Each structure stands twice: as structure tokens, then as C-alpha cells.
Homo-oligomer: A and B are copies of this chain.
Amino acid sequence: MRSENTTPHTSSITRAEREKLNQHKAAIIWITGLSGSGKSTLAYALEQRLYQMGCRTFVLDGDNMRQGLCGDLGFSEEDRKENIRRVGETAKLFYEAGLIVIAAFISPKKEERDRVRALVPAGDFIEVYCECPLEICEQRDPKGLYKKARLGKIKNFTGLSAPYEAPVLMEISINSVELNVSASVENLIEFLFPFGR
């Protein structure tokens, strides 16, 4: 912590008050998985469904975060770690603002995911494992990144030249090969609102 001479301000509006206004709880839904596993597709489909239910929601996405807040970061191990740290802190701000924030990031390291988990009260961080075999992700290769990585044009590519630590104890696991997107979204909605809304 290099920011000395600062004191935390307490917002005059509590998260509980914001949740009351929104008529739903705030949460961080953290979708982890390999590149091409379907994280962003799932995130945006879930956002759409939540919006239709009248929920306040927002997607933080690996790609679009890197166009702005994390545009100064590359893909070294250190930069990827800093990327996830910033995303976690941003997700926390949205959570404090009362939103259901959906973060879709490869986030390959358990330790880094757990660090974000620890930012909010237990139960309010929902880790979603977007499960898909590497072979199928590589076949899909929606952005041509696996191809580039195989040609050595991308270093530190998760699943090929950098490790992915799959979640073991997560809140929910979605197999994006077995389940289509809308069924996956319904699974998540059922987890979030077991008694309906």
C-alpha cells in the first residue's frame, strides 16, 4: 500500500440501501475458464436475462477492460496478475454500488481468484467454472488466438504455454459442451434466485 495520507470515506448510502432500491442483492459472478470456453457469451447472455428480470447488472470482460482501465498492461505474468487485481477491485466497486456484476476472465490462478473472493462477504462471490476441454476450445478458436499461440506469436498463452488451475470448489460449474447457452443461463438464474424473484 503506497497510498499514505489517505483515509477511507464511508459512502453515505449503504449497499443494503442500494439493494433495497434495486430489489435484489448485489453479487460478483466470476466466470473463469480457458480462452474459447464461452465465458463472454455466457456473461452477456446472463446479463440479458437479468436485465429482462429488472436487475441492475454489468459485464466486466477480459477484452473490453483491456481497452481502457488495463490498456497499459501486457501479458507477462506480472501484468496478468495486475490485470486480475484491478478487475477484482473494479468488480468490488460495482458490488458496493448494488449491482450484480459479471466478470468473465480466464483468471488461471486459484490464488488470484481467491483474492477477489476475499474482497466481499462470504456468499456474495459466485465462482462459475466455464468448463470446456482444451481440444474443443482450440477447435473453436473464435479469435484465432490458439493458432497464433501455436505459431509462437503469443507467449504465456493459458492452456498451451501457461498453466490453468481449474476450480475444484466453485459455486457452480457449467459445461459449455453439454449445455447450450440458454440452459446454462437458467442454471445460473436458479442458483441466484432459488425461490424466484
Contacts and interface: CB of A to CB of B under 8 A. Distances in A.
Given A11-B44, A12-B44, A13-B57, 15 more contacts: A3-B66, A3-B67, A3-B70, A3-B71, A8-B63, A12-B45, A13-B48, A21-B51, A21-B54, A22-B56, A60-B93, A68-B92, A69-B86, A71-B89, A90-B90
A179 interface: no
Given A1-B71, A12-B45, A71-B2, A7 B63 contact: yes
A67 B8 contact: yes
A6 B67 contact: yes
A58 B97 contact: yes
A9 interface: yes
Contacts of A48: 12-13
A189 interface: no
Interface string A84-111: 0010011011101111000000000000
11 contacts: A3-B67, A3-B73, A3-B75, A11-B47, A12-B48, A18-B51, A18-B56, A21-B54, A21-B56, A56-B56, A68-B89
A42 to B, nearest CB: 11
A73 B154 CA distance: 29
Given A6-B62, A51-B13, A93 B69 contact: yes
Contacts of A71: 1-3, 89
Contacts of A137: none
Given A21-B51, A54-B21, A73-B2, A63 B9 contact: yes
A51 B2 contact: no
A72 interface: yes
A161 interface: no
A47 B72 CA distance: 31
B40 A5 contact: no
Contacts of A97: 56, 58, 94, 99
